[in-house]
Amino acid sequence: MTKAREAFPEVPPSGVSMGSEPTSSAAVSFGREGTIFVNPYTGDVLGKGSKAHKLMHEIEDWHRWLGSREIGRPITGLSNAAFLILVVTGFYLWWPKRWAGTTLKTVTRFNPRLQGKGRDWNRHNVIGFWCAPVLLVITLTGLVMSYRWANDLLYRIAGNEPPPAPQAAPSGPPPEFPLDRVDPLWARAEAQSPGWVSIRLRFPQKPEGPVTATIQEPAAWHPSPRSLLTLNPVTAEVVKWEPFSEYNLGRTLRAWVQPIHTGVAGGIPGQIIALIGAMGGIMLAWTGLAMAWRRIFQRRRKSVAAPAVSTAEPPSQVKILGN
């Protein structure tokens, strides 16, 4: 921690995390300024992570809020809500008036012989039929992560009181947390859950505020169950222990939102299904725009005035023959 602090003197560290593997490095966070990786045995600074690690974080930031929390987050939330409306209304528009074998075949199988508008219509309906359930789950879980009211609604549906809204971080840099307190706090977190997979300590944002430890435990029916431990920053005594196994229904459902949204809840097959659903969403947008473009183009063509036709009587047969 000391060497990491020396390598990043601009702002005080906001937390530290590490996995239980012997080869795992410690990650020292400095808020939004970045993260430095440290050798836990020697304290040597290893750097800010590989280019691939940085690229994946940048891609995630662009996916979640277009690279800017303040500007992009409202846009991505609204876009997710709009896509949810498209999925729901698409179900209504797709639902056939009469069910028949030929009707179901038309909307569930690709027809490679079609061209133009018929081809786009066929692709739009077939992709929508198979991908709409996945897209509905993705957009619903995205809505819970995007809006506070949707998050609270999930708790209320489960019959639990929603947690209080997180308090805004105080203005100015966070207080400098004494580094000599980290080791006792870390040891207490390890003792609280001996089979821990990873631990993340978050230092207080206010002077003498509590330290929180997020402890990821071995995967069981949840891919990454996390328990929350609140510690006294001076004595390292336990202030509050919230194991994952004792979460109420609302909090348990909320813990499942992100794994379901990303497909991680289903392992590799779940991630493949989520990927196919996302690719299907792109194709739905493409075929929908193609059909809309053809519709607009055809209307413009019909609105063009037809050439005037003369109503005068044709010349007589005698004149035409020149007799």
8: pLDDT strictly greater than 80: no
What pLDDT is recorded for position 318? Answer: 40
Structurally, how many domains does the chain consist of? 3
Given a contact cutoff of 8 angstroms between Cβ atoms, the answer to whether 280 and 127 are in contact is yes
Q: Is residue 24 part of a domain?
A: yes
- 69-102, pLDDT tens digit by residue? 889 999 999 999 999 999 999 888 887 777 777 7
Q: Is residue 309 part of a domain?
A: no
Statement to judge: residues 113 and 196 lie in one domain: no
Question: What is the dihedral angle through the alpha carbons of 145, 139, 258, 286, rounded to the nearest 10 degrees?
Answer: -120
Q: Is residue 54 part of a domain?
A: no
| pLDDT tier, 158 (very low <50, low <70, confident <90, very high otherwise) | very high
Statement to judge: residues 127 and 8 lie in one domain: no
Average pLDDT value over all residues in the chain: 87
| Pairing label, strands 198-202, 15-19 | antiparallel
40: pLDDT strictly greater than 50: yes
191: pLDDT strictly greater than 80: yes
The DSSP call for residue 16 is: E
Query: pTM value?
Result: 0.83
Q: Is residue 287 part of a domain?
A: yes
Statement to judge: residues 152 and 282 lie in one domain: yes
- 104-152, pLDDT tens digit by residue? 788 889 999 999 888 999 999 999 999 999 999 999 999 999 999 999 9
Could you list the residue range(s) of the whole structural domain that residue 185 is in?
178-247
What pLDDT is recorded for position 181? Answer: 92
Q: Is residue 172 part of a domain?
A: no
